[in-house]
Amino acid sequence: MPKLQGKVALVTGGADGIGEAACRALAAEGATVVVSDINLAGAEKVAGDIRNGAWACELNVCEEAAWQAALDEIIGRSGQLDILVNNAGGNGAGNVEEISFDDFRNAMRLNLDSVFIGSKLAIELMKARGGNIINVSSIHGIRAAAHAASYTAAKGAVRLLTKSIALHCAQHGYGIRSNSIHPGYILTTQMKDWVAGQEDPDEMMAGLVAHHPIGFLGDPADIGAGIVFLASDDSRFMTGSELVMDGGFCLV
């Protein structure tokens, strides 16, 4: 029997990259997946490919009202929410001297505030029956990056917010687990396009791979598999933990 049969999962940023991989992996294990993204057309394409009852929802994760509307729609259509994958994020490049305060705050809104809003509202829907909150942080939520001050700050905060949520839910007996996942550099379309735009793409790629002792960069499907693990009873004794999937990045 599929591991997530009968579960309803909401994935943010589900139109591509890690979010898309998470949607596909969760659906393959029987979950009904709500593919949410600010790019509704992209989300609809992924939901159409997945089938298995999947459907798309437009969601700007920086807006509380948009979150509430999306969750109301999920309850109206499915009657429950069992899994939330807070995946949407990005931005945050620039060292502390380069970035403006406005850019810093915008990166925090996208990468951190969105996780707070989504988790807070999802707990209300989950606490009577239990559930899973999975927050996609980053290896740079554990190991700082000088070239991405706001991204590092936000993803580090996601790591500790995840732990705070886990402890709160455990203390109240909600049956809600909360864990974070920390990918290394992953070959998403966005990353491939960024590498292709560099002056020497081959040299850039070789440099990125060199930071990962395993000898290659991860695929979005690798992280999707990790998300399924955290969403399923295979990880039932984990809460407030970090699942680091970085090809050894932290070792060097």
Catalytic residues: 151
The label of the residue with tokens 């040299």 reads 203
Is residue 212 a contact partner of residue 222, using CB atoms and an 8 Å limit? no
Phi/psi at 14 (5° precision): -85, 0
Q: Residue 216 burial (CB < 10 Å; 0-12/13-18/19+)?
A: exposed
- The CA dihedral of 140, 144, 149, 152, to the nearest 10 degrees, is 30
SS3 letters for 134-158?
A: EEECCHHHCCCCCCEHHHHHHHHHH
C-beta pairs of 172-175 under 8 Å, 24+ apart in sequence: 172/127, 174/123, 174/126, 174/127, 174/130, 175/127, 175/129, 175/130, 175/131
Question: Three-state SS for 6?
Answer: coil
SS3 letters for 165-192?
A: HHHHHHHCCCCEEEEEEEECCECCHHHH
Residue 141: other Cβ atoms inside 10 A: 27
| Per-residue burial over 177-191, b = 16 or more CB atoms within 10 Å of its CB, e = otherwise | bbbbbbbbbbbbeeb
